Chain A
């Protein structure tokens, strides 16, 4: 059973550019969440997608947007990149079972903005 997969693994961009990161959830999972993890910090919640809709959003600007496809895979888009956007971007998938929704994380995409 494949876990959460993300692509690409590494990416280098320059300030002002746009980037798209991709995530395939664990088999059977219908919810995808995105997190940003700066070096030496814990992950910070960006947003969550369920049934192709953004269900919840963290404290991130509109430059961060996303999409979920009918097969539950997801994309994270960041426009007008800033140096501070350099981080590990993590995708997590989950499936709600009762009152519980356990997150499974992918390996992440490491983004460097120069």
Chain B
């Protein structure tokens, strides 16, 4: 079993739709979760990070962590064609605190159609 599982998609939505991207993780000790966006032939760009359970909002993006079900989500409101990219969820490799050594999911490819 992979430590972080993510549906690779692709996911195609019309412009303006609400997008939900999801990951599950296997180790309940993980506490630090991140979402990265990666455009084609570019490096990953950090979108959001969050500790433990709850929601964190930043503009059109909301990150949600449910530790009871080991489930993390990224919601994108009013999606735009410029949001078309691969979205990677990640958690820290070590269990106690954030050390900067990341475990990534496979990535979900999102296409937002005008």
Chain A interface (Cβ < 8 Å from any Cβ of B): 4, 31, 33, 35, 40-45, 48, 56, 58, 90, 92, 94, 96, 99-108, 110
Interface contact A48-B107, CB-CB below 8 Å: no
Interface contact A101-B44, CB-CB below 8 Å: no
- Identity of the chain A residue whose Cβ is nearest the Cβ of B6 in the assembled complex: A42
Interface residues contributed by chain B, number (CB under 8 Å): 25
Which of B6, B42, B45, B99 contacts A101 (CB under 8 A)?
B99
Which of B42, B88, B99 contacts A56 (CB under 8 A)?
B99
**A99–B90 alpha-carbon span in the complex (Å):** 17
Interface residue ranges of B28-54 to A (CB < 8 Å) = 36, 41-46, 49
Contacts A48-B101, A100-B98 given; indicate if A40 touches B106 (C-beta within 8 A).
Answer: yes
Which of A45, A96, A104 contacts B103 (CB under 8 A)?
A45
- Identity of the chain B residue whose Cβ is nearest the Cβ of A110 in the assembled complex: B41
**A40–B90 alpha-carbon span in the complex (Å):** 16
Interface contact B98-A43, CB-CB below 8 Å: no
Which of A40, A43, A110 contacts B102 (CB under 8 A)?
A43
Contacts A40-B106, A42-B106, A42-B107 given; indicate if A104 touches B46 (C-beta within 8 A).
Answer: yes
**B100 an interface residue at 8 Å Cβ cutoff?**
yes
**A31–B44 alpha-carbon span in the complex (Å):** 17
Interface contact B98-A101, CB-CB below 8 Å: yes
- Note all chain B residues with C-beta closer than 8 A to A100: 98
Shortest CB distance B96–A (Å): 10
Interface contact B43-A94, CB-CB below 8 Å: no
**A70–B45 alpha-carbon span in the complex (Å):** 26
Interface contact B43-A31, CB-CB below 8 Å: no
- Note all chain A residues with C-beta closer than 8 A to B4: 42
- Note all chain A residues with C-beta closer than 8 A to B102: 33, 35, 43, 45, 103
Which of A31, A42, A90, A108 contacts B100 (CB under 8 A)?
A31
Which of B43, B103, B104, B107 contacts A107 (CB under 8 A)?
B43
- Note all chain A residues with C-beta closer than 8 A to B90: 42
Shortest CB distance B22–A (Å): 14
